[in-house]
């Protein structure tokens, strides 16, 4: 029999608090700081996360649970770091409007909106997938990871794509 999922209640609370906190902080503006250098850093973090997610997938397919576990912990830490830097940037820096025109503008907004929606959904998915692994519920972990992995990978990759598309318009 598998152990209960540890931190289930904590992760449930975090799954609600994190998106609400991010949405709330978007209304806060702090002046006097220049963090315009952050988007390239957090886009790089997204890119590294995507690479490590693929590596973790390969590792678990090869049966290397220990390396998979540590790679996933690094991915979670990178995503948490991304979130802190992302919030820091957005509370200190005015929003940048996308300057592309025509079809590419629609492509940008489709990618951006899907990225935002799925980034909200990925938080509880990652936390509960992780909790199942921590509790040793590997069958349930694997079942949820089948959904979590492609969504998390999409969010990481689309974050880089969004950055590449909007970076020419940063001031």
Higher pLDDT, 2 or 58: 58
Task: Give residue-wise pLDDT tens across range 58-97.
Answer: 999 999 999 999 999 999 999 999 999 999 998 999 889 9
> Tens digit of pLDDT for each residue in 107-129?
999 999 999 999 999 999 999 99
What is the secondary structure of 46-63 as a DSSP string? HHHHHHHHHHHHHHHHTT
Q: How much is the pLDDT for 62?
A: 98
At 59 the pLDDT is 98
Quickly tell me which residue has 């005015």 as its tokens: 94
Long-range (24+ apart) CB contacts under 8 A made by 164-169 are: 164/43, 165/98, 165/100, 165/104, 165/108, 165/111, 166/96, 166/98, 166/108, 167/39, 167/40, 167/43, 168/99, 169/96, 169/97, 169/98, 169/99
When mean pLDDT is compared over 1-10, 84-93, 121-130, 154-163, the highest value belongs to 154-163
What pLDDT, on a 0 to 100 scale, did the predictor assign at position 2? 56
Classify domain 36-169 at the CATH class level. Answer: mainly alpha
């Amino acid at each position: 029999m598998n152990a209960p999922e540890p931190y289930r209640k904590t992760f449930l609370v975090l799954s609600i608090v994190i998106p609400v906190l991010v949405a709330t902080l978007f209304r806060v503006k702090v002046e006097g700081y220049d963090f315009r250098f952050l988007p390239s850093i957090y886009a790089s973090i997204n890119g590294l996360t995507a690479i490590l997610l693929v590596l973790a997938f390969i590792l678990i397919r090869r049966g290397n649970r220990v390396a998979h576990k540590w790679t996933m912990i690094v991915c979670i830490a990178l995503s948490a770091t991304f979130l802190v830097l992302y919030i820091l940037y957005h509370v200190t820096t005015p929003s940048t409007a996308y300057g592309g025109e025509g079809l590419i503008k629609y492509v940008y907004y489709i990618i951006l909106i899907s990225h935002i929606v799925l980034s909200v959904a990925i938080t509880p998915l990652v936390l509960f997938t992780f909790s199942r692994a921590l509790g040793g519920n590997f069958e349930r972990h694997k079942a949820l990871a089948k959904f979590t992995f492609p969504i998390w990978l999409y969010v990481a990759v689309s974050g880089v794509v969004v950055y590449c598309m909007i970076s020419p318009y940063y001031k």
